[in-house]
């Protein structure tokens, strides 16, 4: 069949019409916004029993507003194409909210009606009625249309459900999970989905009843018969229109009835086990749908729309901003207890209103007709050839035509030859390097393995000949390489930048430690510990220098050979960790140093108190060094300004300060241990020195305090700086992660999204990107069973500061990759898994369980009885058994990724239990690890290791 799409001219967005309601116009084509209606059901029995209040008012046919308690004018009001109140019947909802779109399908325009809303809001109730009304209407119209313009209609039906991200055939349960295929012409299709030819309306109703019976339904607290899957019933309507001219036009359109599963909160549905898992999948795919709708509603044409993030959006892609007319019916509960959820639904509906579709008439010319047409043409040519004159002319034109064809083929051959040479060149330059990688290091083999994902279409299209496969593979590689070239060089450039930053970091650390050395040297505390620490720090300086210099030895290589860069990065992975390790050591040393300094000072202080005569913590011989130390040249110190302030602060008034006067006469002021006279004034211990005898008495305690303070401040500065260095190392690690993620995406053929994603994000403000991405991360943590300690740590640390961008980005990419990977593992047969850890999901779940048990145990020691009781009350933990209650609470935290309040409270509890800082306090981000595993047992958790192992991270 040859498909011709009759395109209509594009209308400027401002002139894009909203389809007028209740005016069926089956042949409407072109750009048009999605038709959005809202239906509010009556209060149900449970809501009535709980004396729930009605929170919403449908003020007119288009407006709904949130009631205020004291009947003041509400500011929260929404306007839609239609608003249906609780007393409105489904027939009316169909007539005014869906009919127009439904009937478009009869004239070759794709159409979709779907219901969206929270669980128990009435989606299935509404869609059932809509489908029933549509069937009746379609058959009536087919009859009446056929009477005016004779047409042959053929109806086919197929039906599927998406249950836990798995596509199942509702008309053929035995077929098992189905795969999605990407067809360049048809878009996403479902492989092997059964299609039944419909005999009449009764037959259609019967088939739909089978789908209903097959669909996954379960009982939840909010709905006895809650749909646990998204259901799509698809009618394919074909028709042939015989025109007066004798031509036959064939039309084909699909009409989708989509009944989505409802969004739900675990806290409201009290779901656990299977229901909880279903709920997570439902929420996740609805989140993607929301994101798709929101991005489409932005109206910017170059935005990357993440259709591929869920099967639902992949299947519905055509209906969301594509070649279809779409009507969405958003259903809400009127209850006050569901007001938050209803607001979410209305905000989704508001975005959906702005989505523009571009419907076309899908006209098909059957091959039979074409054959007939060609036969006629051949007959005509044959007739012409009968006459010699005509045959000469005809031969001449044929010759000319052939000539042109030959020239065209020559051009094509040239181009193909050029491409072949180019590919050969690429292979030649690549082969020895890859060979080398294979022989020399293990990871390269793993990288190659991970980077060459099989093409789904190839796997599915039977088994083409080896030659065709080879050509296809080479072509695909060339395409990947070709399209990725620009990304590759920018990634390589990024890697170089990381190298440079790493070197600079090493140098800075080096400088900082030198200053630290001087500081300690000048302190001369006389402590053996301090001396040992100095020696250790010195050797660490040397080692750090070595580490920081390491990248210098790396050859620059081919600018665009990304794999080599990645292999090189892997080999440098140890540099990062050793740099981190060194910084850890330095931190430790500083801590010890401070400890020894404090004890020394304390000892000195007490001795001076006891004997009334003792040396200062800093001998006067070193005092000329103090300004140098305090005015440290180490630029990155955040406290250098403070240091100068200290210098000023520590300076006594000019005529009263023996130190400053000593500074001006260094020769005369050497090593001056002081003696406290006990009367508050101090004098030099060298009482025999005439100069010192002449000076005013020195307040030893004051001086002691001053130096003590200065030394402590300096060491604090160093400590802060080392912390800062550690943070920067962590950031570099993240940048490296980001590159690895980008490479994985690129190699998986999704690299093109990178650039678009950047374009996509630029117009949005960081806070909204952050909140969006954080929601996705929370959902992904949940789906990938990531350690809750990790979640807490991340949640507490990254709270939307612009500098958090890289962490958020990396976390999101890693999790997205992981989720896809785990889903693939879940769907793959054991034979396909090879050496992949098939039990990774279950071991992660096990680890999570252990982590909850560990947290439950800590509740006794980390929370007071009052705190525990308050939490039990808040989290509805029944008063049965102390240990059980603790475990119940631990099992409840971090289970509702949909509620930010739940997430926030869960994080606060875990933070308290494991001793993280309270929100708002400054927490060093360097403490955050690139590992999703629980702190208690990192080996148990498999997920992230899958990815990190590929690159030996």
Ligand X SMILES: Nc1ncnc2c1ncn2[C@@H]1O[C@H](COP(=O)(O)OP(=O)(O)OP(=O)(O)O)[C@@H](O)[C@H]1O
- Kind of pairing, strands 226-227 and 217-218? antiparallel
Residues 6 or more apart whose CB falls under 8 angstroms from that of 558 comprise 429, 564
Q: Please report how close the Cβ of residue 126 comes to ligand X at its closest, in angstroms.
A: 6
What is the total count of residues that contact ligand X (CB under 6 A)? 18
Find the part of the chain contacting ligand X (CB under 6 A) among 224-232, 459-467, 564-572, 721-729.
Answer: 224-232
| Token pair of 450 as six digits | 């991970």
> In the set 7, 18, 173, 225, which binds ligand X (CB under 6 A)?
225
Provide the mask over 60-99, with x wherever binding to ligand X is found by CB under 6 A and - wherever it is not. Answer: ----------------------------------------
Specify whether the CB–CB gap between 40 and 61 falls below 8 A. no
Task: For the chain, give the longest Cα–Cα distance.
Answer: 140
Q: Tell me if 262 contacts ligand X by CB under 6 A.
A: yes
CA-wise closest residue to 790 among 888, 901, 914, 899? 914
Query: Do the strands 35-40 and 82-84 form a parallel or antiparallel pair, or are they unpaired?
Result: parallel
- The nearest distance, CB 465 to ligand X, in angstroms, is 49
Q: Is the dihedral of CA 927, 928, 930, 931 positive or negative?
A: positive
Residue span binding ligand X (CB under 6 A) among the ranges 40-48, 385-393, 662-670, 731-739: 40-48
Question: Binder to ligand X among 32, 36, 37, 41 (CB under 6 A)?
Answer: 41
Nearer to ligand X, 312 or 537 (CB): 312
C-beta neighbour count of 870 within 10 angstroms: 12
Closer residue to ligand X, CB minimum distance, 223 or 733? 223
- Pick the piece of the chain touching ligand X (CB under 6 A) from 4-12, 223-231, 393-401, 844-852: 223-231
Binding mask 273-312 for ligand X (x = CB under 6 A): ----------------------------------------
CB distance 825 to 843 below 8 Å: no
Contact positions with ligand X (CB under 6 A) in 102-141: 117, 119-125
Taking CB under 6 A as the rule, does residue 44 contact ligand X? Answer: yes
User: Is 118 within any annotated ligand binding site?
Assistant: yes
* DSSP per-residue codes, 253-302: EEEEEEEPPPB--HHHHT--HHHHHHHHHHHHHHHHHHHHHHHHHH--TT
> Whose Cβ is closer to ligand X: residue 118's or residue 239's?
118
Q: Is 518 annotated as a binding residue?
A: no
| CA–CA dist 837, 697 (Å, integer) | 77
User: Is the CB of 120 or the CB of 699 nearer to ligand X?
Assistant: 120
Q: How far apart are CA 760 and CA 742, in angstroms?
A: 16
The DSSP element (H or E) to which 217 belongs, if any, is strand 217-218
Q: Which residues pair with 181 in a beta bridge?
A: 189
| Shortest Å distance, C-beta 232 to ligand X | 15
Q: Which C-beta is closer to ligand X: that of 287 or that of 848?
A: 287
| Shortest distance, position 85 Cβ to ligand X, whole Å | 10
- Give yes or no for a contact between 328 and 37, defined as CB atoms under 8 angstroms apart: yes
Q: Which two tokens stand for residue 265?
A: 């909160």
Exposed e or buried b for every residue in 801-838, given b needs 16+ CB within 10 A?
eeebbbbbbbbbbbbbbbbebbbebeeeeeeeeeeeee
Nearer of residues 230 and 353 to ligand X, judged by Cβ: 230
- Distance, CA of 102 to chain centre: 36
Q: Is 120 annotated as a binding residue?
A: yes
Name residues contacting ligand X, limited to 407-446 (CB under 6 A): none
For ligand X, the closer of residues 118 and 358 by Cβ is: 118
**CB 117 to ligand X: min, Å:** 6
Best CA proximity match to 916, nearest among 862, 875, 854, 850? 862
d(CA 232, CA 759): 33
Kindly state the DSSP code that residue 918 receives in the 8-state scheme: P
Q: Which of 420, 476, 423, 478 minimizes the C-alpha distance to 453?
A: 476
Q: State which residue, 31 or 61, has the beta carbon closest to ligand X.
A: 61
Nearer to ligand X, 229 or 596 (CB): 229
- Measured from the CB atom, is 224 or 645 closer to ligand X? 224
What's the closest the beta carbon of residue 41 comes to ligand X, in angstroms?
4
CB-CB contact of 506 with 545 (8 Å) = yes
Q: Which is nearer to ligand X, 283 or 589 (CB)?
A: 283
Q: Kindly give the pairing relationship between strand 166-169 and strand 217-218.
A: unpaired
Length of the chain measured in residues: 953
Identified binder of ligand X from the candidate list 261, 361, 491, 715, rule CB under 6 A: 261
Q: Is 85 annotated as a binding residue?
A: no
As measured in angstroms, the least distance from the Cβ of 486 to ligand X is: 45
User: What CA–CA distance (Å, rounded) separates 285 from 860?
Assistant: 39
* Closest CB to ligand X among residues 262, 443: 262
Least spacing, CB of residue 219 vs ligand X, in Å: 10
Burial class for 458, CB neighbours closer than 10 Å (0-12, 13-18, 19+): middle
Selected from 30, 42, 749, 826, the binder of ligand X by CB under 6 A is 42
Q: At 617, phi and psi to the nearest 5?
A: -60, -30
Q: Does 218 bind ligand X (CB under 6 A)?
A: no
By CB under 6 A, which span of 222-230, 456-464, 633-641, 707-715 interacts with ligand X? Answer: 222-230
- Binding span for ligand X by CB under 6 A among 221-229, 339-347, 362-370, 717-725: 221-229
* Residue among 107, 110, 216, 226 that touches ligand X (CB under 6 A): 226
- Among residues 239 and 283, whose Cβ is nearest to ligand X? 283
312-371: contacts with ligand X (CB under 6 A): 331
Among residues 37, 104, 110, 223, the one that binds ligand X under rule CB under 6 A: 223
Q: Is 330 helix (H, G, I), strand (E, B) or coil?
A: strand
Q: Which is nearer to ligand X, 269 or 650 (CB)?
A: 269
User: Which of 117, 318 has the CB closer to ligand X?
Assistant: 117
Q: Least distance in Å: CB of 262 to ligand X?
A: 3
Cβ neighbours for 459, distance < 8 A, ≥ 6 positions apart: none
Least distance from ligand X to the Cβ atom of residue 261, Å: 5
Give yes or no for residue 216 binding ligand X (CB under 6 A).
Answer: no
CA distance 345 to 123: 12
Nearest distance in Å: CB 338, ligand X: 11
**Least distance to ligand X from the beta carbon of 209, Å?**
16
Least distance in angstroms from the C-beta of 119 to ligand X: 4
| Residue 702 CA neighbour count, 13 Å, CB half | 15
Ligand-binding site membership of 350 (annotated)? no
CA distances from 123 to 41, 114, 115, 270 (A): 10, 9, 5, 21
Say whether 173 sits in a helix, a strand or coil.
helix
Give me the least distance between CB of 263 and ligand X, in Å please: 8
Residue 636 corresponds to which tokens in the numbers above? 């990155």
CB of 260 to ligand X, least distance (A): 7
DSSP reduced 3-state for 574: helix
Please check if 485 is assigned to a binding site.
no
**Sites for ligand X among residues 695-754 (CB under 6 A):** none
Name the binding residues for ATP.
Answer: 117-124
> Using CB under 6 A as the criterion, which residues of the chain lie in contact with ligand X when the complex forms?
41-42, 44, 117, 119-125, 223, 225-227, 261-262, 331
Name the binding residues.
Answer: 117-124
């Amino acid at each position: 069949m040859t498909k011709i799409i009759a395109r209509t001219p594009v209308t400027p967005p401002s002139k894009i019409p909203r389809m007028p309601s209740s005016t069926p116009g089956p042949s409407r084509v072109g750009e048009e916004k999605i038709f959005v209606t809202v239906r509010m059901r009556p209060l149900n029995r449970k809501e009535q029993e709980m004396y729930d209040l009605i929170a919403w008012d449908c003020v007119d046919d288009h407006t709904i507003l949130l009631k205020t308690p004291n009947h003041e004018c509400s500011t929260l009001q929404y306007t839609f194409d239609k608003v249906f109140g609780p007393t409105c019947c489904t027939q009316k909802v169909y007539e005014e909210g869906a009919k127009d779109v439904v009937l478009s399908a009869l004239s070759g325009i794709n159409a979709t009606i779907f219901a969206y809303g929270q669980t128990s809001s009435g989606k299935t109730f509404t869609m059932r009625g809509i489908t029933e009304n549509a069937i009746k209407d379609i058959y009536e119209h087919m009859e009446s249309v056929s009477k005016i313009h004779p047409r042959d209609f053929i109806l086919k039906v197929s039906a599927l459900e998406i249950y836990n991200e798995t596509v199942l055939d509702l008309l053929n349960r035995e077929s098992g999970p189905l795969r999605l295929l990407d067809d360049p012409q048809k878009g996403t299709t479902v492989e092997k989905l059964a299609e039944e030819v419909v005999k009449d309306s009764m037959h259609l109703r019967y088939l739909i009843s089978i789908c209903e019976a097959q669909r996954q339904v379960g009982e939840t607290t909010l709905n006895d018969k809650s749909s646990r899957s998204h259901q799509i019933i698809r009618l394919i309507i074909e028709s042939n229109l015989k025109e007066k001219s004798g031509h036959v036009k064939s039309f084909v359109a699909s009409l989708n009835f989509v009944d989505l599963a409802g969004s739900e909160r675990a806290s409201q549905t009290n779901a656990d086990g299977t229901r909880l898992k279903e709920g997570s999948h439902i929420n996740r795919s609805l989140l993607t749908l929301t994101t798709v709708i929101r991005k489409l509603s932005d109206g910017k044409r170059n935005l990357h729309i993440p259709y591929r993030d869920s099967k639902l959006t992949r299947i519905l892609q055509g209906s969301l901003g594509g070649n279809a007319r779409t009507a969405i019916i958003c259903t809400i509960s009127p209850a006050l207890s569901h007001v938050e959820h209803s607001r979410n639904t209305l905000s989704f509906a508001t975005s959906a209103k702005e989505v523009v579709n571009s419907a076309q008439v899908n006209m098909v010319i059957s091959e039979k007709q074409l054959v007939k047409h060609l036969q006629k043409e051949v007959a005509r040519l044959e007739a012409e050839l009968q006459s010699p004159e005509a045959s000469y002319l005809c031969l001449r034109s044929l010759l000319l035509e052939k000539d042109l064809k030959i020239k065209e083929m020559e051009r094509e051959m040239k181009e193909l030859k050029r491409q072949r040479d180019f590919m050969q060149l690429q292979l030649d330059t690549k082969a020895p390097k890859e060979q080398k990688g294979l022989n020399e290091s293990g990871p390269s083999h793993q990288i190659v393995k991970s980077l060459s994902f099989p093409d789904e279409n190839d796997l599915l299209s039977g088994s083409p000949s080896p030659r065709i496969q080879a050509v296809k593979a080479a072509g695909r590689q060339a395409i990947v390489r070709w399209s990725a070239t620009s990304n590759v060089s920018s990634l390589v450039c990024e890697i170089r930048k990381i190298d440079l930053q790493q070197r600079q970091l090493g140098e800075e650390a080096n400088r900082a430690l030198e200053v630290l050395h001087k500081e300690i040297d000048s302190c001369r505390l006389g402590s053996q510990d301090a001396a040992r620490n100095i020696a250790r720090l010195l050797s660490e300086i040397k080692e750090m220098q070595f580490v920081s210099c390491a990248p210098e030895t790396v050859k620059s290589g081919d600018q665009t050979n990304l794999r080599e860069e990645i292999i090189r990065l892997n080999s440098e992975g140890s540099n990062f960790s050793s740099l981190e390790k060194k910084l850890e050591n330095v931190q430790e040393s500083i801590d010890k140093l401070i400890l020894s300094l404090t004890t020394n000072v304390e000892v000195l202080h007490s001795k001076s108190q006891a004997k009334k005569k003792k040396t200062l913590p800093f001998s006067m011989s070193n005092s000329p060094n103090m300004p140098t130390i305090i005015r440290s040249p180490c630029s990155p110190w955040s406290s250098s300004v403070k240091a100068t302030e200290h210098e000023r602060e520590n300076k006594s008034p000019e005529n009263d300060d023996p130190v400053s006067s000593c500074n001006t006469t260094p020769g005369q002021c050497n090593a001056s241990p002081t003696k406290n006279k006990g009367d508050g004034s101090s004098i030099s211990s060298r009482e025999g020195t005439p100069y010192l005898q002449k000076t005013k008495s020195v307040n030893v305690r004051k001086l002691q305090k001053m130096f003590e303070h200065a030394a402590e401040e300096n060491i604090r500065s160093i400590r802060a700086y080392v912390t800062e260095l550690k943070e920067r190392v962590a950031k570099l690690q993240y940048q490296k992660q980001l590159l690895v993620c980008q490479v994985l995406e690129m190699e998986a053929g999704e690299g093109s999204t990178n650039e678009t994603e950047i374009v996509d994000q630029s117009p949005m403000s960081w806070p909204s990107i952050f909140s969006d991405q954080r929601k996705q991360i929370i959902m992904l943590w949940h789906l990938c069973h990531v350690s809750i300690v990790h979640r807490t740590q991340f949640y507490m640390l990254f709270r939307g500061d612009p500098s958090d961008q890289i962490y958020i980005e990396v976390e999101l990419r890693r999790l997205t990759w992981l989720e896809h990977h785990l889903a693939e593992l879940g769907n793959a047969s054991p034979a396909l898994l090879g050496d992949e850890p098939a039990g990774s999901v279950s071991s992660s779940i096990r680890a999570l369980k252990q982590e909850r048990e560990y947290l439950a145990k800590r509740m006794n020691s980390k929370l007071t009885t009052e705190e525990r009781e308050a939490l039990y009350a808040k989290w509805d933990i029944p008063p049965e058994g102390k240990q059980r209650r603790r475990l119940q609470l631990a099992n409840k935290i971090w289970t509702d990724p949909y509620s930010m309040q739940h997430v926030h409270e869960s994080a606060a509890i875990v933070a308290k239990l494991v001793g993280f800082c309270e929100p708002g306090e400054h927490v060093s981000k360097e403490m955050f690890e690139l590992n999703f595993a629980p702190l208690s047992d990192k080996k148990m958790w498999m997920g992230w290791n899958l990815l990190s192992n590929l690159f030996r991270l």
